[in-house]
């Protein structure tokens, strides 16, 4: 694992220290890693949403659509 030093103002340091204490993180590094992972997940989700928004429209997701999904799932779990 590589090392990165981060400078932050005292107000942000206090905020990080408080989050570490309240949320049960072992270190401030663990907390920052979690923030980075969440940011990566958010960026991935945004990309997927944009991809979906720019894709052609398909059949509506109405009650009939969800009923057919439930039926498929129920059929696949009975095996």
Q: Can you state the percent helix, strand and coil of the chain, rounding each to 5?
A: 70, 0, 30
Whether the model pTM is above 0.85: no
Per-block mean pLDDT, blocks of 10 residues, the chain (79 long): 91 96 96 97 98 90 93 82
What is each CA distance from 57 to 9, 16, 50, 63, in whole angstroms? 48, 44, 13, 17
d(CA 30, CA 23): 11
The single residue listed with the structure tokens 């940011």 is 39
């Amino acid at each position: 694992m590589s090392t990165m030093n981060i400078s932050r103002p005292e107000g942000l340091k206090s905020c990080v220290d408080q989050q570490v204490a309240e949320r049960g993180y072992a270190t401030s590094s663990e907390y920052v890693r979690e923030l980075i992972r969440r940011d990566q997940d958010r960026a991935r989700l945004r990309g997927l949403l944009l991809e979906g928004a720019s894709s052609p429209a398909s059949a509506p997701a109405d009650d009939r659509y969800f009923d057919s999904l439930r039926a498929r799932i129920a059929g696949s779990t009975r095996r």
